Amino acid sequence: MNLYRYASPATFYPLAGRLVPWFALLAAAFTAAGLYISFFVAPTDFQQGEGYRIIFIHVPAAWMSMFIYIVMAFWSAIGLAWNTRLSFVMARALAPTGAMFTFLALWTGALWGKPMWGAWWVWDARLTSELILLFLYVGYMALQAAIDDPRRADRAGALLNLVGVINVPIIYFSVKWWNTLHQGASVSLTRAPSMAQTMLWGMLVMAIAAWMYTIAVALARARTLILERERQTEWARAVIKEEA
């Protein structure tokens, strides 16, 4: 099988259409399992009571906010290097979902901070760098919307993503580099997990659910973008007529 074949919008479009329902289904299944672990399997925390259950949304959302930005920067780099149309479409399709997860990381963080720290918000390195990530997503989307020529918008946005991706390691290591109120990494490859196994599993299952959801929604968005851009081509004209 030649994978490069799918770099062509004409072959990618129907493939994405077939994949979307499967990823949506997987997302629903993992969400159901993750919610079950979050509320019915994971024990009460001895320090934070039931309040800690926010972790099952907060950590996966924060992971996704950083991952998606890295993936966007990856597609931007590929697009700039090889001028592949589909790469820019993928970067564009991912941005709103990335922004949503960044917002949710901040929102759930505020709801967690209030009862545990006594403050909705503090200008701490972790929180501030995550807020900058939200601005980077919103800035990218605004830039795309402001430039009429899609090719110029693609290149300008890609450049912004490549510069902005430097913020991701800053967010990740902020709890190490600076004295922050925010706690350190919840999961690390180099040391034993600092929490109950079931809590860890709940977080991982919810993170997989978030991944599946992101793939489904980004592919669906990419399909619409592709149709818009390819509307002059023979195959796109046929699709547009068919879906009437």
Partner 1 sequence: MIWDSWDAFWAMGGYALYVWGSFGATLVCIAGEAWLVRRQRRQVLSRLRRLQRFDSQ
Q: Which residues bind partner 1 (CB under 8 A)?
A: 39-40, 43-44, 49-51, 53-54, 57-58, 61, 96-97, 100, 103-104, 107-108, 111-112, 114-115, 213, 217, 220-221, 223-224, 227-228, 231, 237, 240-241, 243-244
Contact 93, 214 (CB under 8 A): no
* Cβ nearer to partner 1, comparing 98 with 164: 98
Q: Residue for token digits 């004409």?
A: 10
Q: How far is the CB of 154 from partner 1 (least distance, A)?
A: 18
**Two structure tokens written together for 109:** 């963080």
* Cβ nearer to partner 1, comparing 20 with 136: 20
* Cβ nearer to partner 1, comparing 58 with 85: 58
Write out the DSSP string of 98-164.
HHHHHHHHHHHHHHHHHHHHS-S----HHHHHHHHHHHHHHHHHHHHHH-SSHHHHHHHHHHHHHHH
Write out the DSSP string of 158-214.
HHHHHHHTTHHHHHHHHHHHS--SS---S--SSS--SS-HHHHHHHHHHHHHHHHHH
Q: How far is the CB of 143 from partner 1 (least distance, A)?
A: 19
Q: How far is the CB of 158 from partner 1 (least distance, A)?
A: 22
Q: How far is the CB of 173 from partner 1 (least distance, A)?
A: 25
* Cβ nearer to partner 1, comparing 93 with 171: 93
* Cβ nearer to partner 1, comparing 78 with 100: 100
